[in-house]
Amino acid sequence: MTRRNGPAIRDTTLWLLLLVGAGFLAFGALGSWWAIPAFAAYGALYGGAADPRWHENGHGTAFKTRWPNDVVYLVASFMLLREPTLWRWSHVRHHSDTIIVGRDPEISFPRPFRFRSVLPNYLNLISGPHMLLRMAQHAAGKIDEDTREFVPEAEFPRVIREARAFVLILGAVVVWCVVAGSIVPLLFIGLPSFYGVWMVWFFAITQHAGLNEDVLDHRYSTRTVYMNPVFRFLYLNMNYHLEHHLFPSVPYHALPKLHEEVKQYLPAPKASVLDAYKEIVHALRMQRRNPDWEIPGREVPDSAAFRLTATKIPASSLATSMAVAAGLEERTDLGPLDLVQPGQVKRIDVGGHTYALFRTRRDIYALSDGLCTHGQTHLAEGHLDDCVIECPKHNGRFNVLTGEPVRRPARVPLVTYAVEIVDGRLLVALGDNPDVTSDAGT
Ligand code: FES
């Protein structure tokens, strides 16, 4: 889960250079047949390769530094006509309820699949107009029912602001075309979101299509496919899609390594894109006739056989004797200082409550309630970076010293407890522990 700027700087720069290069070629080739392949390449890099950049930066895992993630996310959102805040929340829901029918707003291949929708989808002629219409509606200040379903109300003003900004930019390009009497500006900004989208679909179909709906174990609903280095660059390693769904806090550049570590627990990956397509097309055809048809022989290893040793520290192993000093609240003795290593977080259970004990690299200790206030996931499985813990489920973040949420979808603060060091031991006043507040509904 360790974040690095280097790989994302390299891959983002290369992507932008290729995009600009293809743009120059396309501009130079205007009026000749060479314009067709040049625009095809430009469109694929703009409306296609933007998708995995949008995705990785949206998770906040591409760069170690926060702001480049946000900037690339915004730019890629525009390229894909995706309203940034709306899609951030829709993607949170997608990770919680992956292809759960009626809950996941990002099911791209619903059963039964209509093959006649392939071509219009590959040219974005179905979702594109719908997204533009919704954007215009939001720009006018009207929030539609679908958006209300998964975006919290407090985010609506932001949704409206972003829609207005996007509409303004697209409107300016249209005006530019009218004034110049030429469609060329739109061929570079706006229309690539349609004619370049085929690449999004080319890769995206491999993620979940044809796999089990309505199961919470991602191994049944998500697929990993081996791809060549060029595809992996364009797709930013999202071919390790199952690993990503299981561990969304792992950055794209570490996914191949993660795959090696966990592949024994997962169904066998498909050997190539072709191999995956064969399985998918067959499954979609079978499910057209019988929507309950499932892919036979896709074995999911018995996870019970691999159950890991729990890392939690039960109350029984803690020195739970209460230190009571004159005038002081009761303290629970958590243990010695090396109970948790610098830069790490550990789960601790005391008296029916679960906590997360943090030790920053600067040796500051902190204790908070263990469950993320967004969706009840244990924070001890997350990534600690300085004083910020990232939830492993949807990448929400909290300052562990104050409990304040610092990245959505986390919005409700964590309850924190002051940790004292007395004679080389960690003491904490847990008091009457209140129930954890949660906004798991969103
Ligand atoms: S469970 Fe959603 S951010 Fe933690």
Which pLDDT score is estimated for 439? 54
How many C-beta neighbours within 10 Å does residue 179 have?
Answer: 9
Question: Is the CB of residue 375 below 6 angstroms from any atom belonging to ligand 1?
Answer: yes
Residue 3 CB-half CA count within 13 A: 25
Q: What is the mean predicted confidence (pLDDT) over 67-82?
A: 98
Strands (E), 351-418: 353-359, 365-369, 383-385, 388-390, 397-399, 405-407, 416-417
| Higher per-residue confidence, 44 vs 430 | 44
**Domains in the chain, please, with CATH?**
5-289 (no CATH), 315-428 (2.102.10.10)
Element (H, E) at 156: helix 156-180
Average model confidence (pLDDT) for the chain? 91
Q: What is the mean predicted confidence (pLDDT) over 347-372?
A: 94
Structure tokens at 325: 């000093």
Which pLDDT score is estimated for 351? 81
Provide the 8-state DSSP code for 296: T
Residue 282 has pLDDT above 60, yes or no: yes
Provide the 8-state DSSP code for 45: I
Q: CB-based contacts of 297: which residues, under 8 Å, 6+ apart?
A: none
Whose CA is closest to 90, among 130, 61, 55, 141? Answer: 55
Lowest mean pLDDT among 70-74, 191-195, 351-355, 403-407: 351-355
Taking the centre of ligand 1 as the mean of its atom positions, its distance from the CA of residue 245, in whole angstroms, is 13
Taking the centre of ligand 1 as the mean of its atom positions, its distance from the CA of residue 390, in whole angstroms, is 9
Q: What is the mean predicted confidence (pLDDT) over 400-429?
A: 94
Distance CA 63, CA 35 (A): 34
- List, in sequence order, every residue forming a beta bridge with 359; answer none if it has no partner: 344, 365
Structure tokens at 424: 């080389």
Distance CA 14, CA 118 (A): 30
| pTM for this entry | 0.86
Question: Is the CB of residue 396 below 6 angstroms from any atom belonging to ligand 1?
Answer: yes
Question: Is the CB of residue 50 below 6 angstroms from any atom belonging to ligand 1?
Answer: no
Which pLDDT score is estimated for 352? 85
Q: Are 32 and 181 in contact (CB under 8 A)?
A: no
Residue 305 has pLDDT above 80, yes or no: no
Residue 280 has pLDDT above 70, yes or no: yes
Which pLDDT score is estimated for 431? 74
How many C-beta neighbours within 10 Å does residue 109 have?
Answer: 22
Residue 436 has pLDDT above 70, yes or no: no
Whose CA is closest to 159, among 175, 181, 143? Answer: 143
Residue 326 has pLDDT above 50, yes or no: no
With residues binned 3-state (H G I as helix, E B as strand, rest as coil), the percentages for the chain, rounded to 5, are: 50, 10, 40
Q: Are 417 and 426 in contact (CB under 8 A)?
A: no
Question: Is the CB of residue 394 below 6 angstroms from any atom belonging to ligand 1?
Answer: yes
Q: CB-based contacts of 308: which residues, under 8 Å, 6+ apart?
A: none
- At 290, the amino acid letter reads N
Taking the centre of ligand 1 as the mean of its atom positions, its distance from the CA of residue 20, in whole angstroms, is 37
Residue 308 has pLDDT above 90, yes or no: no
How many C-beta neighbours within 10 Å does residue 363 have?
Answer: 10
Residue 114 CB-half CA count within 13 A: 6
CA nearest ligand 1 atom 3, residue: 396
Q: What is the mean predicted confidence (pLDDT) over 313-335?
A: 58
What's the burial of 45, exposed, middle or buried (CB within 10 Å: 0-12/13-18/19+)? buried
Distance CA 177, CA 121 (A): 26
Candidate of 150, 391, 411 to mutate for ligand 1, largest count of ligand atoms within 8 Å of Cβ: 391
pLDDT digits (tens, 9 = 90+) for 135-184: 999 999 999 999 999 999 999 999 999 999 999 999 999 999 999 999 99
Q: What percent of the chain has pLDDT over 70?
A: 91
Atom of ligand 1 nearest to the CA of 410: 3
CA nearest ligand 1 atom 1, residue: 375
Which pLDDT score is estimated for 108? 86
Q: Are 318 and 334 in contact (CB under 8 A)?
A: yes
